[in-house]
Amino acid sequence: MSRYPVTFVASAAGYLQYRRRDIFSERAAVCRIRELEWEGKTVAKAPAKKAATKVPDKLTSASLIGYLAEKNGLVRKDVKQVLEDLFEIVGAGVMRGERVALGKIGKMFIRLRPARGAHPGRNPLTGQMIMIPAKPATKVPRFTFSKTFKEAATKSKAKK
């Protein structure tokens, strides 16, 4: 007999859910799961059903979050937090000067654009010769696509 009045139920998505029969919190359910794992007992899970989720037509951040939440059976708030953390860590890596690999898509990094010296130029409106001032060296973000992604893009049916 369990110390906690909690019933464990396997959901259709395969995740272990609990139903409280009293005023105990979610923490009590987590403690009970740990007790079962400590005793060596396994909790049966229902087979996961893969629902056909349609890729959104417009790829906005809200539609991406909704799609990922539905596909993986998660809460939108959790998916949003994971995406924010992903973008934060990618940005931090790039700002440190690292080449950050983004899966099979490519790599993101910062490149140093060299300085340009002052040079003569021509005003296109009047045709008068002018001196174009020098520009200092700058750091610019760059992205290079992987070879497999480029090959897949050439074979895609995307419109111009």
Q: Using the structure block, give the residue that is written with the tokens 């629902």.
A: 51
Clarify whether residues 9 and 27 are in a common domain: yes
Clarify whether residues 40 and 24 are in a common domain: yes
Is the distance from CB of 25 to CB of 50 less than 8 angstroms? no
Clarify whether residues 132 and 108 are in a common domain: yes
Within 13 Å and on the Cβ side, how many CA atoms surround 52?
0
- Can you spell out the DSSP letters for 42-94? ----PPPP---PPPPSS--HHHHHHHHHHHHT--HHHHHHHHHHHHHHHHHHH
What does the pLDDT read at residue 55? 86
Clarify whether residues 107 and 160 are in a common domain: yes
User: What's the alpha-carbon Rg for the chain, to the nearest Å?
Assistant: 27
Taking the C-alpha atoms of residue 139 and residue 10, their distance in angstroms, rounded to an integer, is 52
Taking the C-alpha atoms of residue 63 and residue 60, their distance in angstroms, rounded to an integer, is 5
What does the pLDDT read at residue 52? 74
Clarify whether residues 59 and 89 are in a common domain: yes
Clarify whether residues 135 and 152 are in a common domain: yes
What does the pLDDT read at residue 158? 83
What does the pLDDT read at residue 155? 92
Domain count, the chain: 3
* Domain final residue pick, 31, 49, 67: 49
Number of DSSP helices (H) and strands (E) in the chain, helices first: 4, 7
Clarify whether residues 72 and 112 are in a common domain: no
Clarify whether residues 60 and 35 are in a common domain: no
pLDDT tens-digit profile, the chain (160 residues): 445 454 555 555 555 554 444 444 566 666 666 676 666 655 555 555 555 788 888 999 999 999 999 999 899 999 999 999 999 999 999 999 999 999 999 999 999 999 999 999 999 999 999 999 999 999 999 999 999 999 999 999 888 7
Clarify whether residues 112 and 160 are in a common domain: yes
Range of the domain at 134: 103-160
